[in-house]
Amino acid sequence: MNESLPTPTTQSNEMSVATNEERTFALDQRYAQALATSDLAPKAFAGSVANCLIAVNLAKRTNFDPLMVMQNMAVIHGKPSWSATFLIACINACGRFESLQFRIEGEGMKKTCTAHAVEKSTGEVVEGPPVSMQMAQDEGWSTKSGSKWKTMPDLMLRYRSAAFFARTVAPEVAMGMHTPDEANDMRANAQATSRPSAISAQEALEQARDITPDSSVEPDSVDSAFGLDGDGPDDF
């Protein structure tokens, strides 16, 4: 059985592709070095060529300027995340949808926000999952100290519903990254589930009663039950 050998043309094309990739990487690396030395580079990128190179790569994927990517990326617990405003900008700029819109309904704890947009190829209106103030309370988003849910609920509803839209309707836009609020909330939830559950004062009192010796038992019988009636080991 004769195996086909690579032709000179095939080898030349492969070498050309490899050369182009190396040239592109070298250019990106030089760009990253320039960004890392800039006074405008955010803290997570200042002096770090590697982090800036990642930002350059993400900029190519999102068709945004690298500096804009760097200014809208936050590193939360060691993982990169997009700002909510940048995520909305990505949805609007991806070319798949008309501008993202928000529908707010209800009042008080029943107030909900749903992010929706018209898909250009079909004309269909697509929606993300609704986000409500009740959800914010149940999930603990609005009960944290200094939470913006208490002072700017409508804005926070829009931000979170935009993140839900990206997560469910256009995951390729977010590229698996969360917003800082989502990242912090997931971290807080993970820590909460790993801690021993607290018990109320009433439960503690009831538990104490369960282990308190019955006062009706005679002292001698208590000593006997615990081997303290004189027959136990002398070195107790």
The Cα 190–Cα 176 span in angstroms is: 19
pLDDT at residue 129 is higher than 50: yes
Beta-sheet strands, E only, within 99-198: 101-105, 112-118, 125-127, 131-132
User: Distance (Å, rounded) from C-alpha 111 to C-alpha 107?
Assistant: 4
Q: Residue 113's CB: how many other CB atoms inside 10 A?
A: 25
Average pLDDT, the chain: 81
Q: What is the mean pLDDT of residues 101-110?
A: 96
Mean pLDDT over 106-135 rounds to 97
pLDDT of 80 reads: 84
| Confidence (pLDDT) at 75 | 81
pLDDT band at 201 (very low <50, low <70, confident <90, very high): low
Give the SS3 label for residue 44. Answer: coil
* CA 165/CA 163 separation, integer angstroms: 5
**Entry pTM:** 0.67
Mean pLDDT of 3-28: 71
pLDDT at 192 over 70: no
User: Which spans in 66-147 are helix H?
Assistant: 66-71, 84-93, 133-138
* Residue 122: pLDDT band with limits 50, 70, 90: very high
